[in-house]
Structure formats: structure tokens, C-alpha cells
Amino acid sequence: MFSIFKNIKDRAETFLKEKNCITDCLSKSEDKTGIKKRYLAVGKCCLYNGTVFIVWIWSLLLCNLIGFAYPVYFSIKAIESPNKEEDTQWLTYWVVYGFFGISEFFSDIFLFWFPFYYVFKCLFLLWCMAPFSWNGSRVLYLRFVRPFFLKYESAVDSVFSDLSGRAVTAAEMWKPHA
């Protein structure tokens, strides 16, 4: 374990002795501050990584607030109102959000590395819930989700019927005998 850290330290020391734009900048900073290059490099790496981590955490929180908190509040309001159009709007949002969540689960390992991913995700979610007729939920539902659903509805119904039958059978097998 210590050999790994020693190897990293040796490589960093070798890099800091090379002549390049990064080491030139660090040398100038060392001359001005009196702090050794190695400590400046470590400090800059920690500052950069800390900033990226904080931005990532806040972006994730903001996306969850946009994707859940706002829609949940207005979904409850829609349920409590007599207006069926609001119910349809928010049901459509949740269906599209569900498809998006499933696809994001499988692609998140790649999407996470794109700069500003969470900014684009927040913008996408805002478009999906926007209060106009061409919002993202409606467009995506009509163009992609609905045709997919209609094409595979009977096959999916068959699978769910089979699974629910198996679940009932399994539950009956594990039912405690009195």
C-alpha cells in the first residue's frame, strides 16, 4: 500500500522538476509566496477537486429538487383539483421521468463525466414540466413513449400477468400453515 503512495509521490516529484507551463506557473507562485511548488500543487489539486465535488453535490441536490419537489407539489394540487387536464399533464411528466430515470440508470456512468451534465439535466427537467403545450413531457410522450407502449402493450401485459400469477403462487407456498 505504501509503495503505491511512494510511486505517486515519485512521479509527482519528477513532474515538478520538468520544464513545462504548469511547473513554470508553480515556480512563479513559489517565488512570490515562498511556498514550495509541491505544496502549491497539492493545494491546487485539493482546491480543484473540492470545488468540483461541491458543485457536483449542489447540482445533484438542485436536480432532485427540480425533478421531484416541484412536480410532487403540483401533482398533489392537480389531484385535489377537478381539472382532469392537470392530472394528465402531471401523469405524463411522471411517465417520461420514469423512462428518463431508467435510461439514466444505465447511462449515468458515462453521462456523469460530461461537463455540465447536471445543468443540462436540470434544463431538461424544466422543459419537461414547463406550463405550455409543447413541453418536454408531452413531446417525448407523444413521439417516443406512446408509440413504444402501443407497439409492445400486449407483450408487456402478458409478462406482468405471468409475473403476478407467479408472485401469488410463491406467496401461497410461503404462507404459514395454521
**Confidence grade of residue 1 (pLDDT, cut at 50, 70, 90):** low
User: Average pLDDT of 85-111?
Assistant: 91
pLDDT score of 51 more than 90: no
User: Average pLDDT of 69-96?
Assistant: 95
> What is the dihedral angle through the alpha carbons of 94, 95, 98, 104, rounded to the nearest 10 degrees?
-110
**Confidence grade of residue 70 (pLDDT, cut at 50, 70, 90):** very high
Q: What is the mean pLDDT of the chain?
A: 86
- pLDDT at residue 87 in the model: 94
pLDDT score of 50 more than 80: no
Region for residue 175 given its phi and psi (left: phi exceeds 0; alpha: psi -120 to 50; beta: otherwise): beta
Domain boundaries, the chain: 56-154
The pLDDT tens digits for 125-178 are 999 999 888 999 999 999 999 999 999 999 999 998 888 888 888 888 887 765
